[in-house]
Amino acid sequence: MDQKIDLIFAIKQQNLDLLDKIFWEVSDPDSPEYGKFLTAEQLGKLIRPKDESIDTILKWLHQQGVSAKSYRFTPHKEFLKVFVDVAKASELLGGIKFHYFSPAVKTASTSRLRLARSLDAYSLPAEVAAHVDFVGGVARLPKIKTMKVTPLSNQYSAVTPSVIKQAFNITAVGSSSKNLQSVNQFLGQFFSPADLTSFQQQFNVPVQSVSKVYGPNVPSNPGVEAALDIEYIMGVANNIPTWFISTGGEHEGQEPFLEWIVNMTSLGNAAPYVFSVSYGDVESSITMSYATRVSTEFQKIGITGRSVIYASGDDGAGCSSSCNSFEPNWPASSPFVTAVGGTVLGSISPLSIQSDAISSGGFSNYFRRPSYQANAVNRYLSQSGLPQPSFYNVQGRAIPDVSSFSENVVIVYQGGQFGVGGTSCAAPVFSAIIALINDERLQNGKSTLGFLNPILYSKVTQFPSMFLDITTGPTNADGCCPGFPPTVGWDAVTGLGVPNYPGMRAALA
């Protein structure tokens, strides 16, 4: 096969123990080092792979006939992207066979998607493998997310920017020229500037353009996910410069999520302070080495003062095919991101909010529970009415961390108003609130918030008004599996609750 693909070599980094130490120091609000984030240059000096690792890999590539024109490094050489044809990729990786794959369900954005992937286990020479965490773009098939527009429902109250601001008591607008927020898209999810302007006009939101499009965008082929994300992060956080980051893939063979990691690593100090991401997959579908290395990349983003916020997913507790265990979602299950679950708006006056049955939540099977959430989660686990412990890892990282609205959210798409649902609605709204608090901190000469979870779980005991605690509604049962119930305090459906802006501002700004 002469199709060109990208192989991404994740090269082993140095000083990961020191990286971990500094990460927690700058993220812990009780630490004297809190907010003293590293620059991209300082981070690069800390983690840059050993010269021996780089030299060994390059020597091998050159011996295999791969020229210098066919590869490039990220700025600190922690990733190496090698652009070769499939035959050469097969040769490099131990003679594995590649096959073409296309999505089973085709959408406008993925109809032409054709991926070269291998069903075989790849191998590297021992002297090279010793310096590599994994090779991306070989086996993983990206999850194709399909979000459909529907007529607005009478089952739930309609959610618009003004409703969100009223429910969460948001009155702030951005004013710092240093601030920057972003939404992040994959697999041909593009947005229409015309739809964005129409949305802003119809819902009395200040008309503001996207300040930068990073990556491809085809306005004539907009996606529902992209429309939702950009309309609501800008609709809630008004007057804050916003990037639309699109990772469509330069070539068919790329793995979009890993490509996004590489791109954001390359941005360095120019990267946005808030990343809103509505992307996920079943945790068990990825390897532990992949999940661990990507979590290290999340730490690197946090250590430079940036917040990574993920939708928790729309699978409830997630049910295995055998109906006897839960399947958590990743990257929401990483301890180094903030996972946002879903709630339903019953009425705005009086305010009535319940849990959403689709809200993915539970416990990671890969990552142990971090100390920042131990007290809140242990209280939850001590209660009756939970699923049998055999269904989940009681020691695992617990998700979600927080929540927002995930049903009947009104967007403008291809000129019309429609309702959409899913925790994809929740992530950009919570991201917008963090961007507003960052804005005030920047105005006052303070750092941005960076990795959020330690300060969220720590401050909520001192400032209980940070969140509106969601205690009623359905469990997040999925298929033939039971689910977790909402309850007082943190729970595995709505996390700490939905944001209350005055309380969050008092605690964080």
Condensed to tens digits (0 to 9), the pLDDT of residues 86-134 reads 899 889 988 888 776 766 665 555 556 666 676 778 899 999 999 999 9
CATH architecture of 1-509: 3-Layer(aba) Sandwich (3.40)
Beta strand 498-499 pairing with 467-468: antiparallel
Residues 6+ apart with CB under 8 A from 206: 173, 200, 238, 239
The percent helix, strand, coil of the chain (3-state, each to 5) is 30, 20, 45
Q: What is the pLDDT of residues 246-258, one digit of tens each?
A: 986 544 445 788 8
- So where are the chain's domains? 1-509
Do 254 and 84 form a contact (C-beta atoms < 8 A)?
Answer: no
Q: Is 283 a catalytic residue?
A: no
Rounded average pLDDT over 354-376? 98
Q: What is the pLDDT of residues 26-73, one digit of tens each?
A: 999 999 999 999 999 999 999 999 999 999 999 999 999 999 999 999
* pLDDT number for residue 279: 85
326 pLDDT higher than 70 = yes
Residues 6+ apart with CB under 8 A from 384: none
Q: Is 225 a catalytic residue?
A: yes
The active-site residue, picked from 6, 424, 439, 491, is: 424
- Chain centroid, CA 336 distance in Å: 10
Q: What angle do CA 416, 419, 423 make, to 5 degrees?
A: 135
Of 64, 54, 53, 59, give the one whose Cα is nearest residue 94: 64
Q: How far apart are CA 311 and CA 260, in angstroms?
A: 16
State whether residue 367 is helix, strand or coil: strand
The active-site residue, picked from 195, 229, 283, 315, is: 229
Q: Is 67 a catalytic residue?
A: no
The active-site residue, picked from 195, 225, 327, 439, is: 225
